[in-house]
A and B are shown apart, each in its own frame.
Chain A
Amino acid sequence: MSMNPVAVTIFVVLFAFVTLLGFGASRWRRGDLNHLHEWGLGGRRFGTIVTWFLLGGDLYTAYTFIAVPALMFGAGAMGFFAVPYTVLVYPLMFAVFPRLWAVAHAKGYVTAADFVRGRFGSHALALAVAGTGIVATMPYIALQLVGMEVVIAALGIPMTLTIAGIAIPDAPLLVAFVVLAAYTYNSGLRAPAMIAVVKDALLYITVLAAIIIIPAELGGYAKIFASIDPKTLLLPPSQPGNFGPQSAYATLGLGSALALLLYPHSVTGLLSSSSRQSIKRNAVFLPAYSFALGLIALLGYMAVAAGVKAMPEFADGFKTFGNNFAVPALFLHSFPAWFVGIAFAAIAIGALVPAAIMSIACANLFTRNIYKEYINPAASHERECSVAKIVSLVVKIGALFFIIELPTQYAIQLQLLGGIWIIQTLPSVILGLYTRKLHPMALLIGWAGGIGAGTWMAAQSGFKTSTYALNIFGTVLPCYAALSSLILNIALAIVLSIAFNLVTQRPRVDATLAEDYG
């Protein structure tokens, strides 16, 4: 692909601008950045509006904006499950997460594992929750790089840079990541919070332009939908004795919604807000992003209608990135060069925000629930915070290594497994917010059973799909493995809790009080 100087210049200028913002963010609502709750939670001082930008940038990642339309482009209606998924997230956020915020605020908890440790008094269970969070998040960070890689390649920026005769592969990606690592280290959660504002402004401009200009060029929505293969425009109808893809669609939506808020980066974003009310307000106003996501999903169909796949200038891109190239190709085809620069900057900067928050969330987990718990219990606040900063670097280097050295397919498969694993912390974290009666050993067995069953179900397809067809009394029910394994997990946790509580007299270990949740 040839490089377009106008698009590249605008892209680079915007990128440089958010870099300055990222470093400057350390001075914003200044706090002592040697304390973990200041560096890693922004001092819990983000009001409703900042939280809205932060969570918007955090939950709706660059990878989502590339992968969802790519799925629509390739598979049709199935890819639209992202919409019911985001519809179902917010009632849950509204009803449940103010409670987690309240108890974390009252007790100084920084991570979900901190809460589990306090509520159930079990080191092992807290370690399981923390470990699951770290392992599920790592491939997610790696996938943010995929989003960035696609737009950098689409701009025609050469991926290999030769300096003094030495070829450096993936140089633009390395530069972007070094910059990201440096300002995250320096400013903590304040950096992505500030950058998220710019990213969202660019994103909304891009989406608005795309849904007005592109359908006009293509002759209206009716024409766009008419160009889609009628076989994939809807989900195939259920057969007698087999619900087929419709049950896969519904369970993917529900399971993904239940999993999303358990991810460490979601918890970090939610706990950094300044009040319970600001979480509730965000549950009401965050769906604005869902709407943008729904429209972006339709870009996949616009790419089909525009016929970008058959255009010779995009053949290389599709060969390298598969359907993930659909949206960049559509933008290159439909927009003037200067606007391509803005749109691609929105996607690339959109990768920086969640990558920063995810690495901070992993750092918080490692520091609080592994380092302080097992390695150096006497660590001072300063020591705790410097460990977290270093871990945030290590996590990002790991993700970078992953993307450069291993096939992208591995990151995608691991992220798919990550969803199945993280949902297994639901009984400890969400049910734990409402009852202390669950026995920590039962929760741990349920967690292990859920992870085992969910991983086994995904393995049956060779980790290609996350749905597994259950056979219930002769009726075939394709179901998202995260959801079916979660049901097993909850059943184990409840039944074994009843059994264990009958057999053993457990002393009260709950460090939280009923009023901490109000």
Chain B
Amino acid sequence: MDKPAKKRGFRLSTLLLLVPYAAMLWVPYYNRIEPELAGIPFFYWYQLLWIVIGAAILLPAWLAGSRSGAS
């Protein structure tokens, strides 16, 4: 019973890796000025923010990998 759960957890964290692709490739969503952040248009701070989110999104998959002992 233990194994399928582990596998599903792995799949979820792997699926997360696809989220940045959706966020970055749908350009019309972020190709705008408002809302500005400290004078920086949305287009720029949204993409800069995704550098940080993109790194954070790898963490669950990384933790899942090191927990299951697969080095």
Contact A233 B51 (CB under 8 A): no
Q: CB of B1 within 8 A of chain A?
A: no
Q: CB of A253 within 8 A of chain B?
A: yes
Q: With A90-B58, A94-B58, A284-B55 as known contacts, state yes or no: A80 contacts B44, CB within 8 Å.
A: yes
Contact B39 A91 (CB under 8 A): no
Of A176-184, A287-295, A366-374, A385-393, the stretch lying at the interface with chain B is A287-295
Residues of B within 8 A of A281 (CB): 62
Residues of A within 8 A of B12 (CB): none
How far, in whole Å, are A394 and B38 apart by their CA atoms in the complex? 50
Contact A223 B39 (CB under 8 A): yes
Which bucket holds chain A's interface residue count?
Answer: 35 or more
How far, in whole Å, are A488 and B18 apart by their CA atoms in the complex? 23
Of A148-156, A160-168, A272-280, A435-443, the stretch lying at the interface with chain B is A272-280
CB < 8 Å neighbour of A234 from B18, B41, B57, B66 = B41
Contact A280 B17 (CB under 8 A): no
CB < 8 Å neighbour of B54 from A90, A95, A222, A298 = A90
Residues of B within 8 A of A224 (CB): 39
Closest to B37 in A: A221
Contact A250 B27 (CB under 8 A): yes
Most chain A C-beta atoms within 10 Å of own C-beta, residue among B18, B27, B40: B27
Tally the A-B contacts, defined by beta carbons under 8 Å. Answer: 112
Closest to A293 in B: B51
Number of interface residues of B (CB under 8 A): 37
CB < 8 Å neighbour of A87 from B18, B26, B33, B47 = B47
Closest to A254 in B: B25
Q: CB of A285 within 8 A of chain B?
A: yes
How far, in whole Å, are A234 and B69 apart by their CA atoms in the complex? 46
Q: With A220-B39, A287-B52 as known contacts, state yes or no: A276 contacts B32, CB within 8 Å.
A: no
Contact A83 B51 (CB under 8 A): yes
Q: CB of A205 within 8 A of chain B?
A: no
B residues lining the A interface (CB < 8 Å)? 14, 17-18, 20-21, 23-28, 31-33, 36, 38-41, 43-44, 47-48, 50-52, 54-55, 57-59, 61-62, 65-66, 70-71
**With A237-B31, A246-B27 already in contact, 19 other A-B pairs whose C-beta atoms are closer than 8 Å:** A83-B48, A88-B20, A90-B54, A91-B17, A94-B17, A221-B38, A222-B39, A225-B39, A225-B40, A233-B33, A234-B43, A237-B28, A246-B28, A250-B26, A277-B71, A280-B65, A284-B62, A287-B52, A291-B52
